[in-house]
A = this chain, B = another copy of it.
Amino acid sequence: MSSPLRIAVDAMGGDQAPRVVVEGVVEVASFLNRGEELILVGDEEAIKKEMKTLSADSLPISLIHASETIHMNESPILALRKKRNSSIAVALALQRKGEVEAVVSAGNTGAVMASSVWTLKRLEGVDRPAIASFFPTEKEPTIVLDVGANADCKPLNLYQFAVMGSIYARSILGRGDPRVGLLSIGEESSKGNELTLETYRLLERSSLNFVGNLEGKDVLTGDVDVVVCDGFVGNVILKFTESIERILTTHFNKHLRSNLRTKLGALLLKPVFENFRKDFDYAEYGGAPLLGVDGVSIVCHGKSSPKAICNAILVARRMVREEINEMIKEKLKENNIGKRNNG
C-alpha cells in the first residue's frame, strides 16, 4: 500500500465551476489507491448540490468550506487581498499546513500563481517559479516554460526553467534524457537577443541535454521535449496557439457551406476536424504546473473539461510521488551554474 496522499481541488475555479470540477473529481476518485484522498474546497452548498447528482458516496472525497470565490476576471492581487477566504487561498493554506500535498485549480490563473508563490514560498535554489504548459505537436506534446509567470527574465532564471522543465519531462512524461531547446530567432548560437545569447552559454555548460536554439517554426514539431523562454514570449505563443483552432474553424466554416460538394466533404471529414480541434484544444490538457514553488500547484485552463481536471489531479499525484521538487533542488545544487557565473 502506498503512503497517504491528499490533494485539494479548488471546486470554484473555472468557467463552469463547481459542476465540471466536481465531475472530474468524482471521475478520478475511483482510480485512486487506498490512502489517497481528494478534498474539494469551496462553497459547501454548491458542491453538495453537484455531488448529489453523482453517485460519489463511497469515494474518497471530502469537502472543506471556503466562503469566497475569486472570479476569472478579477484583478488577482486585489482579489487575494480582499478575499482571504477564497477557495484558492483556503486550498493553498491546507498545503502550507501539511494537510494536503498538492493543489489543483482551474481558477483565475494570476491569483493561483501569486497565491501559490506567497503561500508555498519558493523552492530552495529557485529564483523565479515558472508555469510549464503542454503544447500539442506533430509528435508527443512538448513542455514550454515559462508561459506567463515572469514577463522579464534574467539568464539565470531561464537556466533554472530548463532544469525544472527537464526534470518534469523525465519524471512526469517519462522522457529519457529530455532534449531542451532555447527559443530564439536563429539556430546559430550567435543569434538571439541579449537574454538568449547569455542563456545559451549557461545551458551549453550545464549537464542538461541542451540541443541549442529553436526558432518559432520548431515549437510545434515535437523534436524537443522542453522549450525554454521568458514568460512574455511564452505567453504570447501560448495564446497564439490557442487561437489556431479558432482560425481554422472560421476559415473552414466560411468555405464549407459554399456548395454541395464541400458540404458533403465536410460531413465525411467531420471526425478528422474534431480530432484536430481536440489536439489544439488546451481545455483537453491536464493543467500546467507552477514549477519552483515549495509544494505542488497545478493551474488548469478556465475552460477545462472534467477529463482535464482528472488529468491534472493525476499529474499532481505523480509530482508528489516522484518527489520532483527534491530532484530540482539537487540538480540545481549539483550544476550550481547560476551561482558560479551570475551570483
Contact = CB atoms under 8 A, between A and B. Distances in A.
A202 interface: no
A142 interface: no
Contacts of A148: 185
Contacts of A217: 239-240, 242-243, 246
A219 interface: yes
A272 B253 CA distance: 10
Given A216-B238, A236-B183, A275 B247 contact: no
B261 A268 contact: yes
Contacts of A152: 193-194
B237 A215 contact: no
Nearest to A188: B75
A271 interface: yes
A272 B248 CA distance: 11
A267 to B, nearest CB: 7
Nearest to A232: B193
A174 interface: no
A250 interface: yes
A46 interface: no
B275 A235 contact: no
A242 B218 CA distance: 10
A255 interface: yes
A164 to B, nearest CB: 20
Contacts of A248: 248, 276
Contact of A232 (B185, B238, B271): B185
A207 interface: no
A114 interface: no
Interface in A118-176: 138, 148, 151-152
A251 B138 contact: yes
B272 A264 contact: no
Contacts of A68: none
A220 B247 contact: yes
A250 to B, nearest CB: 5
A185 B239 CA distance: 9
Given A192-B232, A250-B138, A272 B256 contact: yes
Given A262-B269, A268-B261, A272-B255, A235 B138 contact: no
Give 9 nearest A-B pairs by CB, closest first.
A265-B268, A216-B239, A216-B240, A265-B269, A151-B193, A217-B243, A216-B236, A217-B239, A185-B235
Interface of A: 138, 148, 151-152, 183-185, 192-194, 196, 215-221, 230-233, 235-244, 246-248, 250-252, 255-256, 261-262, 264-269, 271-272, 275-276, 279
Given A220-B247, A256-B272, A265-B269, 7 more contacts: A151-B192, A152-B193, A216-B238, A233-B236, A240-B240, A262-B268, A265-B267
17 contacts: A183-B236, A185-B232, A185-B239, A193-B232, A216-B240, A216-B242, A217-B243, A221-B243, A248-B248, A251-B276, A252-B272, A252-B276, A255-B275, A255-B276, A261-B268, A262-B272, A266-B269
